[in-house]
Amino acid sequence: MMKIKGLDHVVLTVRDMGRTIDFYRRVLDMRHVVFDGSYNALHFGNQKINLHPYRAEYTPHADIPAPGTGDLCLIAEGGIDDIVQELGALEIPVELGPVDQTGAGGAMRSVYFRDPDKNLIEVACYIA
C-alpha cells in the first residue's frame, strides 16, 4: 500500500502573475522562483505553490482550473496576534478570525483573508 509522507506543492491558477507574485512576496514573505525557464513558483520552507496563468494553464492541470478556487492553510511561527497586526499594517482585510481550529497537528488559532484572485488564505499558529 502507498505511504504518503508529505505535500510538495499545490497549484493556483491566477489572472495576473505579477500581482499574485507581489502579494505572496510582500504579505507572506515567500520567495519567487522561475524554474525550467518559464514556470513561476512561490517557495516557503520545503514546499511551493506553482502558479498557472488563467486560460493558458500548463498540462496536466485540474479539470476546471479557475482563479479563486484555492483554499490554503499555511502554518506560521509565533502567535496569531502578531499575524493580525502584520496584516493590519499591510492593509490586508481579515475576513474571519482569529478563531480556534483543529489542524493536522492539533489545536491552532487561525485568521482568514483573500489573495488578489480571491483564493481563501488561512494562516494558523499551533497552540503549544
User: Do residues 101 and 110 make contact, with C-beta atoms less than 8 angstroms apart?
Assistant: yes
Any residues with CB less than 8 A from the CB of 102 and at least 6 apart, and which? 108
At a CB cut-off of 8 Å and minimum separation 6, what does 12 contact? 20, 49, 50, 51, 52, 67, 70, 115, 117, 119
Q: Please say if 122 is a catalytic residue.
A: yes
Going by the DSSP 8-state scheme, the letter that residue 115 receives in this structure is: -
Cell readout for 4 is 504518503
Residue carrying C-alpha cell 499574485: 20
Task: Please pick, among 57, 86, 95, 122, the residue that the annotation labels catalytic.
Answer: 122
Cα 54–Cα 97–Cα 128 angle in degrees, nearest 5? 110
Active site residues: 122
